[in-house]
Amino acid sequence: MFGFKGIILPKGVWALIIINMMMSIIFNFTSIFINLFLWNQGQNIFSVSLFNLSSVALLFVSYLVGSYFLYQRSIRFVLVMSCIFAGFSFFALYLSHGQAKEWMIIFVGAMSGITQGLFWSANNSALYRFLKSEQYADYFSVNTVIAQAVTILVPLFSSLIIFELTFHVAFLFMLIFVILGLLSTLRLPNVSMHQSLYQDIGFKKTFSKPGTKWSIGAIFSSGFINQFLALFSMVFIFNITNQVGMVALLNVGYSIVSLGGLFLYRRYHISQNKWLIIGVLLIFSSYIMALYDQLTLGILVVLFMRLGSLFFSASSSRQRYRVLMQGDIIWRTKMGMWLEIPLVLARSSVLIVALYVHEVKDGAFLLLIILSSLAMLLIPFFQTRSIAEYEAVYGVGAGL
């Protein structure tokens, strides 16, 4: 057993926490600096969209493949493979010699997507297998502290390495975290899921519980909005500046503001519907400001997108998870696999249209704003129907 400021967790759980930390570092670096590297090749949205599209597509496929091997092999096996594919992505970038051809963008995006798909399929199952219910609070407390540190420290240190030694060396440096993650993975118990996740996974049986069918529409709408906000908040930052140090500082600043927003969300216990409205208003405000070219407005666009997304996602997710947590562990895992389908369709739809965005304010960008606005209006409809069916069976306020 190891302690962390009064928190006591088994060795295997600490190994999982270290793996999560290594992968958080890798994912944070990827989301900022691989995208910035591609942007700097020609400052076009196409390269960034192509990278993210190939990543999303392979994330979905590898999530399903990883879920299969959780029973056929082991959780540790899937996590080891995730680390190996992460290594492939950074090694390929190291060999690219500072050039990003389309085939290289697709390959690196695919490796990144496979890394994430395998990791998330194994990570979710590892929580169920290695943690007892009374340890969840301690586990997530530690992970929250680590995640906050990662969002602030990784951009700063990564930008320093890139500024002093170039992107080329930074990609090679990231292999250190891949190796650390791999070594931590090998410390996990070699256990598997006790039942195949593909057994009795038919649609009717999986979605037989009250309110679950409406979750499909809610997940699709939420995925569409979040992908649009994630992609274009990043594009707006790159439009403000493509200097590595300034990009890092802006991301750190937005992360700190987001932490402040999270503090407000947890401190003030107003209704989830009011937080949802606040999130929607912030996002709509960012869309209006996005139609102007002023630098100051560009900074505010990203700020409003980040805060709006935080409040919108937090309030809508809490209601959605009431419905998704009503079954046992195996059922919830199967439900998660099914819901990956509308999620990947939504994210891919955004990224496919984004391939045709040449500049902010053109027709394809306006189309995405209109569609994401419609998605925001549809989420309350889907969730109201879902919660109504759920509470009709379990009672008003159940699961809160």
Sign of CA dihedral 117, 118, 123, 128: positive
- Name which of 9-13, 72-76, 216-220, 379-383 the model is least confident about: 9-13
**Tens of pLDDT, residues 279-300:** 888 988 888 888 776 666 778 8
Q: What is the mean pLDDT of residues 142-169?
A: 83
Between 272 and 358, name the one with better pLDDT. Answer: 358
Sign of CA dihedral 271, 277, 280, 281: negative
**Tens of pLDDT, residues 261-276:** 878 877 777 777 788 8
Residue 278, judged by CB atoms within 10 A of its CB (0-12, 13-18, 19+), counts as buried
Task: Identify the pLDDT of residue 25.
Answer: 92
Quote the tokens at residue 397. 């306020």
Contact in structure between 325 and 399 (CB atoms under 8 Å)? yes
Could you tell me the pLDDT band of residue 1, with boundaries at 50, 70 and 90? very low
Secondary structure (3-state) at 115: helix
Q: What is the mean pLDDT of residues 342-356?
A: 91
Contact in structure between 226 and 309 (CB atoms under 8 Å)? yes
Closest CA to 88 of 64, 120, 118, 126: 118
Q: What is the mean pLDDT of residues 47-68?
A: 90
Q: What is the mean pLDDT of residues 360-378?
A: 87
Quote the tokens at residue 75. 């959780």
Contact in structure between 26 and 178 (CB atoms under 8 Å)? yes
Task: Identify the pLDDT of residue 128.
Answer: 67
What does the DSSP 8-state code read for residue 134? G
Task: Identify the pLDDT of residue 111.
Answer: 94
Assign residue 134 a region (left: φ > 0; alpha: ψ between -120 and 50; beta: otherwise). alpha
- Domain architecture of the chain: domains with CATH: 8-188 (1.20.1250.20), 197-400 (1.20.1250.20)
Between 130 and 248, name the one with better pLDDT. Answer: 248
**Is the per-residue pLDDT at 399 higher than 70?**
no
**Tens of pLDDT, residues 68-88:** 888 888 888 999 999 999 999
Q: What is the mean pLDDT of residues 250-266?
A: 82
Torsion angle of C-alpha atoms 378, 380, 383, 388, degrees rounded to 10: -120
Task: Identify the pLDDT of residue 33.
Answer: 87
Q: What is the mean pLDDT of residues 26-47?
A: 85
50-59, 192-201, 225-234: which has the highest mean pLDDT?
50-59
Task: Identify the pLDDT of residue 71.
Answer: 81
Indicate the residue type of 47: S
Instruction: Please state the pTM of the whole predicted model.
Output: 0.84
The angle subtended at Cα 180 by Cα 175 and Cα 182, nearest 5°, is 95
Interacting residues of 323 by C-beta distance below 8 A, sequence separation 6+: 209, 210, 211, 212, 215, 386, 387, 390, 399
